[in-house]
């Protein structure tokens, strides 16, 4: 009888133990990264560079001491749309493409015109901005038209499309039997305007939006743009040719912000309504 009672007790205890195990809630599994609708981790982190004397595309914000401008906001918007992180750094113009080759940077976002010569060294994104070369003089200057620049000295930023446009004008004037163009090459975009103000050159050749931004911020300069832009150019983001994944990310992000209206929002912020 005792043995029978002992066996019954053991069965009861075993049953209760099994029941307790069945009702115990399983430990919740640790949530996997990016799971259950959470924000995705960035695909990669990239370094973008530009020369921050090229307002309104890139400049140093006086209040923060950090790079700012259309290009800076643009690449940040592209990064958010394509899910990668980006840091923007200031660098001399002549070092920008070299920084890609050395691995110091992954992207050049600096109002860089897409040209056949540059495309031999880098891969460009889809165009993101239409621009053109224009020229400006001090108000009251006898230079009224592009032809009047023959025999005059112009200030340009070295190794830019402003520099290349001046060289082509020089060749054209000489082919037409006119005096050539004196070309004064300076290191930074801001330098060419200062050179005009102190009388070191007769005119400046630069990207039309850059000239317009300078005149807006320096109304006391008494400079004018006598004619519309005389070239048509398109800006692109430069990358290493072998970085195909980055090419796809940049073009994807650019397409997204154009479709969403974010691009137009940035354009209006810096240039007004199209």
pLDDT digits (tens, 9 = 90+) for 5-48: 344 344 344 443 444 443 444 444 434 344 445 567 888 999 99
CA distance 53 to 222: 21
Q: What is the mean pLDDT of residues 144-167?
A: 97
Q: What is the mean pLDDT of residues 122-148?
A: 97
- CA angle 202/208/214 to nearest 5° reads 70
Task: Please tell me which residue, 42 or 66, carries the higher pLDDT value.
Answer: 66
pLDDT, tens digit, 9 for 90 and up, residues 250-266:
999 999 999 999 999 99
pLDDT, tens digit, 9 for 90 and up, residues 94-114:
999 999 999 999 999 999 999
pLDDT at position 21, please?
43
Q: What is the mean pLDDT of residues 208-230?
A: 95
Q: Determine phi and psi for 21, rounding to 5 degrees.
A: -65, -35
* Least confident residue range of 166-170, 188-192, 224-228: 188-192
The answer for residues whose C-beta is within 8 angstroms of residue 124's C-beta and 6 or more apart is 114, 118, 236, 237, 238, 239
* Structural domains of the chain, with CATH: 45-131+234-271 (3.40.190.10), 133-231 (3.40.190.10)
Q: What is the mean pLDDT of residues 219-225?
A: 94
Would you say residue 219 has pLDDT above 70? yes
Q: What is the mean pLDDT of residues 243-253?
A: 98
Confirm if 85 and 44 have CB atoms less than 8 A apart: yes
pTM: 0.82
pLDDT at position 4, please?
42
Q: Which of 94, 105, 137 is nearest to 227 (CA)?
A: 137
Q: Which of 190, 150, 177 is nearest to 166 (CA)?
A: 150
pLDDT at position 22, please?
39
Average pLDDT, the chain: 89
């Amino acid at each position: 009888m005792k043995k029978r009672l002992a066996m019954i007790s053991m069965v009861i205890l075993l049953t209760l133990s099994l029941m307790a195990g069945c009702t115990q809630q399983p430990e919740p599994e640790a949530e996997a990264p990016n799971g259950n609708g959470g924000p995705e981790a960035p695909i990669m982190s990239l370094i973008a560079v530009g020369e921050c004397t090229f307002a309104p595309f890139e400049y140093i914000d006086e209040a923060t001491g950090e790079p700012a401008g259309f290009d800076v906001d643009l690449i940040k918007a592209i990064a958010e749309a394509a899910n990668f992180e980006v840091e923007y750094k200031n660098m001399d113009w002549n070092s920008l493409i070299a920084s890609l080759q050395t691995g110091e940077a992954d992207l050049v976002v600096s109002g860089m015109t897409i040209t056949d010569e540059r495309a031999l060294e880098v891969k460009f994104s889809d165009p993101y901005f239409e621009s053109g070369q224009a020229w400006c003089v001090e108000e009251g200057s006898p230079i009224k038209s592009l032809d009047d620049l023959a025999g005059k000295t112009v200030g340009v930023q070295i190794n830019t499309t402003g520099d290349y446009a001046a060289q082509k004008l020089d060749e054209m004037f000489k082919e037409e039997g006119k005096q050539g163009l004196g070309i004064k090459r300076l290191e930074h975009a801001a330098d060419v305007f200062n050179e005009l103000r102190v009388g070191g050159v007769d005119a400046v050749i630069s990207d039309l939006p850059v000239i317009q931004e300078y005149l807006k911020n320096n109304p006391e300069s008494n400079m004018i743009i006598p004619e519309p832009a005389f070239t048509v150019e398109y800006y692109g983001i430069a990358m290493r040719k072998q970085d195909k994944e980055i090419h796809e990310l940049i073009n994807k992000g650019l397409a997204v912000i154009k479709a969403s209206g974010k691009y137009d929002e940035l354009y209006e912020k810096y240039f007004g309504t199209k």
